[in-house]
Chains A and B, each alone.
Chain A
Amino acid sequence: MPEFTLRTLADQLVNGLVIGNVYALIAIGLALIFGVANLINFAHGSVYMIGAYVGWVCVIWLGWPLGATFVVVALICATLGVLIERFGLRRLQNEARIAPLLATIGISFALDQLVQLIFSPNPQSFPNPLPAARIALGGVSIGALDLLIAAITAAIAVMLFIFLRFTRLGWALRATAQDREAAQQMGVDVDAINALTFAVAAVLGGIGGVMIGMYFTSVYPTMSYGAMLKGFAANLLGGLGSVPGAVVGGLALGLIETFGVALLGSTYRNLFTFIILIGVLVLRPTGLFGARRATPPEPLTGTFVANSRPVHIPRALVIGGLIAAILLPFFTSNPYLLQILTNAWLFSMLALSITLVTGTAGQMSLGQAGFLAIGGYASALLSMRLGLPLELSLLAGAVIAAALGTLLTWPVFRLRSQYVALATLGIGEVINQIILNWEGLTNGAMGLSNIPPLSFLGLPVIETAPIYWFALGILVVAALFQWRLMQSHLGRTWRAVREDDVAARAMGISLNRYKALAFIAGGLIAGLSGAFTAHMYSYINNETFAATTSILGLTMVILGGMGNMAGAVIGAIALTALPELFRPLADARYLIYGVVLLLLVRFRPQGLLGTV
């Protein structure tokens, strides 16, 4: 237990405010974009990360002074912001809000991987270029960097205030945010204002990135994801779209986080973010300062579902494909191929689960990997601690995943569209954080090792081919389960909820019940996949089922066609197997996933096989 003197308390206060300043910068950018484009921009974290790298290159490689560095960072990030808006999002302006949101996820995947390819995934050291001397002020010690961060943030806030309040362009920006169509009737070119907003937001994000890089003395590609979530949490706390709210929210989050870490330890750092994220979304979606404004209205159907006729796949083809898959091990001696396909079968189950929840029932889930994790841990712990036979523990894992996961997701059922996406992402992360911090049960970051291997009716399943068959077998069982539900009244009811929840309610459908049923059914399948994975690897930790897994699964689903079961399996095979089979692509796989997602949303929203 750390000792709390007045002095450490004051130091924590300074730390919290400094971090909070940077969170505020990120949150302001997100707020501007949300206000003008009504969009949750998942690519914002990537811009921030790229800003950090540009700053690092300027200071460390080129040895430039900080002033020049900030100018270059601002220029490059502004350009990046404009490019994202122009080529990634502008054509999606009139689509359901989920469409541009998915596009920004695709962009962030691609940008993150690009930076990884150029600079390696490893953190780069970014020593603080400022003098190390600290000023003692009444018992509080303040460093030069602390002052710099505070000064830059304050300067930016003042400039932004002047821009928004007193310039013609600033007025146009605010007018566009308040009433896009009326702004057009004042002669405002709203597309240009959109681009300007992305540029301004990107500059703020990039400068924030450089400062955080210096503050924590390192930059690394995955810093984007956490920053994006913190920005959202701060923004939500202050009220989505509110600039003053973003400043207060950022500072508050910085303080909460710093004091929380001081009290509980650094592994808890992110937990606060996610709890705030979900708590505000569910309890007070207008945030602290958003009372005046309700959350912006959504289009009639908030879901990303394209009208299409699904490609009909003859039953003979399905059975033929299945037989070929069963016979495959007899015709190949390449264990690598079988391993990849085993992986594809497990991903297929994740994709089936997502296509049920997101495709069929229309609830955009970005946290489905949480179900994998619960299933994996539950099954592993039950067989390790209680000695449950494998068949039972797999089943129990699936049931626990479905029950616990649905219970955790329950508060989200009152939200719609892009807020569901944000909240489920947060829930996936909360599950991850609980696993990380509940060391007594999960062994924390060390993970669980020596998980009993797969077995079937008492016979060990440890060879490549039997594992392959086992995985294929449970995939078939899961698919039959889902198929049967889809053919029942549930399939129809879920699709009605997805297509138009208002009309569905008017016909007597209780939304919560059918959303819950979709998460339960999907959770069973994902839980089974996670449980199988745990025993197959004999080792899992909190990273095994990371958030990117959820988004990868979603990309598979969109590739195959929303709600389309055959599409989910084909999408899973394509995205797991193809990068492996063409080795040079493997290192750039997330770049490919991102680009695939971006192109699908723009050009083929119904996927390969069509929406069901």
Chain B
Amino acid sequence: MALLEVRGLRREFGGVVAVDGIDLTVNPGETVSVIGPNGAGKTTLFNLITGLDKPDAGEVLLDGRPITGLPPEELAALGVARTFQHGRVFGNLSVLDNVLVGAHTRQAAHRLRTPVLGMVAELILALIQPPAWREERTRLRDEAREVLALFGDRLLPRAEQPAYSLSYANRRRTEIARALALRPRLLLLDEPTAGMNPTETAELLEFIRSLKQRGLTILLIEHKLSLVMQLSDRVIVMDDGRKIAEGAPQIVRDDPRVIEAYLGHPRRGWDARDAQVAGEDDLRVVLPQAHHP
């Protein structure tokens, strides 16, 4: 069974269709990439899958179980972790604390789910710190250090530094480490190498490859197509909110529809134009979403 299945997902913003009937599946252990030109709807799709936004139609299944519209905190508890397009680390928290926040759903405190009483219990237990909590605390700290160690000596020596003081690439790495601390069943990476130089990109490529070899299931949005080609088992191409192609990386890369989506459609017939413009219906707007540089 597919780990993640998306069926007919659709999202409109004030009459503008950002995601238009997307289907996709990600099987366990697979790395699937979503590519497409600016404004194709990739990040909206990510937000719909991770609960930051609610779809107008369609459904999302995790392990066959519907998760459509669940809030992000519940999805995280189910093992869905993500990183963000522009990197959202907790700036004033140390690198280690950032990673520990990633382990939030694995703490005993997170299992105290009874409304009100669970909350009061959490406060009291946090105050008295019973032995089991202290053990857990030590264990999670050790684990967090292990996650940091995956990045060699990039993060570990800086574990106690506040995240805002890190270089840009290290902040992105911290964000991935944080997501890994959740022990995700599905990891969604939104442009993990954005803003990285070629060396850093190559290093991260190797890192993601190693995650893949460990059997992690990954859904990736990425602009650097060479990276996508090297990492992906399958590639899904979006344009104007729709899926225009899907398949193995090389096949997709040579698909004329994909090239057209990136480079633009050649100009249509000059003559048919005026007659068509008179009609109102074809004036479709696709994306007035905010653009991020």
Chain A residues proximal to chain B, CB less than 8 Å: 300, 305, 307-309, 481, 484-485, 488-490, 492-493, 495-496, 499-500, 502-511, 513, 516-517, 520-521, 611-612
- Tell me, rounded to whole Å, the shortest Cβ–Cβ distance linking A202 to chain B: 33
Give Cα A510–Cα B72 distance, bound, in whole angstroms.
9
Q: Confirm or deny: B129 has a beta carbon within 8 angstroms of a beta carbon on chain A.
A: yes
Check: B182 CB closer than 8 A to any chain A CB.
yes
Cβ-defined contact, B123 with A499, below 8 A:
no
**CB of A113, distance to nearest CB on chain B (Å):** 34
Are B182 and A508 closer than 8 Å at their CB atoms?
yes
Expressed in whole angstroms, the Cα–Cα distance for A503 and B50 within the complex equals 11
A489-B109, A508-B77, A510-B73 known; A503 vs B90 contact (CB < 8 Å): yes
Instruction: Tell me whether B76 is interfacial, beta carbon within 8 Å.
Output: yes
In the complex, chain A residues whose CB is within 8 Å of the CB of B92: 305, 307-308, 495, 499, 611-612
Interface size on B, residues (CB 8 A): 40
Q: How far is the CA of A611 from the CA of B102 in the complex (A)?
A: 22
Q: Is B3 engaged at the interface, CB distance under 8 Å to the other chain?
A: no
Chain A positions within 8 Å of B89 at CB level: 500, 503
A508–B105 contact, CB under 8 A?
A: yes
Q: Find out whether the CB atom of B110 lies under 8 angstroms from the CB atom of A508.
A: yes
Contact B91 A506 (CB under 8 A): no
Contacting pair B123 A521 (CB below 8 A): yes
* Contact B164 A506, beta carbon cutoff 8 Å: no
Which residues of chain B are near A495, meaning CB under 8 Å? 90, 92-93, 97
List the A side residues contacting B74 at CB < 8 Å: 508
Whether a CB of chain A sits under 8 angstroms from the CB of B107 is yes
Do A506 and B104 have beta carbons less than 8 Å apart? Answer: no
A490-B122, A504-B101 are known contacts; what are 17 more A-B pairs with Cβ within 8 Å?
A307-B92, A307-B164, A308-B92, A481-B127, A484-B129, A485-B123, A489-B107, A489-B126, A492-B93, A496-B97, A503-B90, A505-B52, A505-B73, A508-B74, A508-B105, A510-B73, A517-B119
- Smallest CB separation, A489 vs chain B (Å): 6
Q: Which residue of B lies closest to A485 (CB)?
A: B126
CB distance A492 to B50 under 8 Å? no
- Asked if B97 and A492 sit within 8 Å, CB to CB, the answer is yes
Contact B97 A309 (CB under 8 A): no
How far, in Å, is B238 (CB) from chain A's closest CB?
22
How many inter-chain contacts with C-beta < 8 Å in the A-B complex?
105
Given contacts A489-B137, A499-B91, A517-B123, contact A508 B104 (CB under 8 A): yes
A507 touches B162 (CB 8 A): no
Contact indicator B119/A513 (Cβ below 8 Å): yes
* A308 proximity list for chain B (CB < 8 A): 92
CA distance A500 to B89 in the complex (A): 8
- Residues of the A chain whose Cβ atoms lie less than 8 Å from the Cβ of B172: none
Which residues 105-144 in B have Cβ within 8 Å of A in the complex?
Answer: 105, 107, 109-110, 119-120, 122-123, 126-127, 129, 137
Q: Once the chains bind, are B88 and A307 in contact (CB under 8 Å)?
A: no
B215 lies within 8 A of chain A by Cβ: no
Complex CA gap A333/B88 in Å reads 56
B contact residues around A307 at 8 Å (CB): 91-92, 162, 164-165
Pick from B82, B84, B91 the residue with the most CB of A within 10 Å.
Answer: B91
Supply 16 A–B pairs (Cβ within 8 Å), ascending by A.
Answer: A493-B101, A496-B90, A496-B93, A499-B90, A502-B88, A503-B88, A503-B89, A506-B82, A508-B73, A508-B74, A508-B77, A508-B104, A509-B73, A511-B73, A513-B119, A517-B122
Smallest CB-CB separation from A301: which chain B residue? B91
- The CA of A128 and the CA of B17, in the complex, are separated in Å by 61
The A interface, classified by DSSP as helix, strand, loop or mixed, is: helix
How far does the Cβ of B27 sit from chain A's closest Cβ, in whole Å? 23
Partner of B71 from the list A309, A492, A493, A505 (CB cut-off 8 Å) is A505
User: Contacts A489-B126, A490-B126, A493-B101; is A507 near B88 (CB within 8 Å)?
Assistant: no
Measured between beta carbons, the chain A residues less than 8 angstroms from B164 are 307
Is the C-beta of B18 less than 8 angstroms from some C-beta in chain A?
A: no
Given contacts A492-B97, A517-B119, A507 and B91 within 8 Å (CB-CB): no
A505: chain B residues within 8 A (beta carbon): 52, 71-73, 76
Say if the beta carbon of B258 comes within 8 Å of chain A.
no
Q: Is B178 on the interface with A (CB-CB < 8 A)?
A: yes
Asked if B81 is an interface residue, CB under 8 A from chain A, the answer is: yes
For A510, give the chain B residue with the smallest CB separation: B73
Residues of the B chain whose Cβ atoms lie less than 8 Å from the Cβ of A492:
93, 97, 100-101
A186 → B minimal CB distance (Å): 19
Q: Name the residue on B nearest A292 (C-beta).
A: B14
Interface string of B55-88 (1 = CB under 8 A from A): 0000000000000000111101100011010001
Residue of B nearest to A300 (CB): B88
Judging by beta carbons under 8 Å apart, are A520 and B90 in contact? no
B162-187 residues at the A interface, CB under 8 angstroms: 162, 164-165, 178-179, 182
Chain A neighbourhood of B120, CB < 8 A: 520
How distant is B15 from chain A, measured CB to nearest CB, in Å? 13
Contact of B182 with A309 in the complex, beta carbons under 8 Å: no
Q: How far, in angstroms, from A309 to B90 measured CA to CA in the complex?
A: 14
List of B residues within 8 angstroms of A488 by Cβ: 126-127, 129
Q: Return chain B residues, CB-CB under 8 Å to A300.
A: 88
B254 to chain A, nearest CB (A): 36
* Contact across chains for A506 and B100 when beta carbons are under 8 A apart: no
> Within the assembled complex, what's the spacing in Å between the Cα atoms of A285 and B109?
33
**B102, B123, B129 interface centre (most CB from chain A within 10 Å):** B123
A500 cross-chain contacts in B, Cβ below 8 A: 88-90
Complex CA–CA separation, A97 to B161 (angstroms): 28
A492–B90 CA distance with the chains assembled, in angstroms: 10
Q: Report A-chain residues with C-beta under 8 Å of the C-beta of B77.
A: 508
Whether A502 lies near B109 (C-beta < 8 A) is no
Q: A502-B52, A505-B73 are in contact. Are A496 and B127 (CB under 8 A)?
A: no
Our pick among A489, A516, A612 for the contact of B119 (Cβ within 8 Å) is A516
**Shortest beta-carbon contacts, A-B, top 8:** A508-B76, A508-B105, A499-B90, A488-B126, A503-B88, A307-B164, A505-B72, A496-B101
**Nearest Cβ in chain B — how far from A486, in angstroms?**
10
- List, in ascending order, chain B residues with CB within 8 A of A305's CB: 92
**Which of B71, B89, B90, B105 is the most central at the interface, judged by chain A CB atoms within 10 Å of its CB?**
B90
Q: Which of A307, A484, A513, A521 has the most CB of B within 10 A?
A: A513
| Inter-chain contact B162/A506, CB cutoff 8 Å | no
- Whether B52 pairs with A506 at a CB distance below 8 angstroms is yes
Separation in Å of the B158 CB from the closest CB of chain A?
13
Are B50 and A309 neighbours in the complex by a CB distance under 8 Å? no
Q: Which residues of B contact A496 (CB under 8 A)?
A: 90, 93, 97, 101
Measured CA separation A386–B73 after assembly (Å) = 44
Are B127 and A484 interface neighbours, CB within 8 A? yes
In the complex, what's the smallest C-beta–C-beta distance from A15 to chain B, in angstroms? 43
The minimal Cβ–Cβ distance linking A193 to chain B, given in whole angstroms, is 23
Question: What is the CB-to-nearest-CB distance from A45 to chain B, in angstroms, rounded to a whole number?
Answer: 34
A506 with B81: in contact, given A485-B126, A517-B119, A517-B123 (CB under 8 Å)? yes
A435 CA / B162 CA spacing, docked (Å): 45
Query: What is the CB-to-nearest-CB distance from B116 to chain A, in angstroms, rounded to a whole number?
Result: 9
Residues from chain B with a CB closer than 8 A to the CB of A493 are: 101, 104
> In the bound complex, how far is the Cα of B74 from the Cα of A489, in angstroms?
19
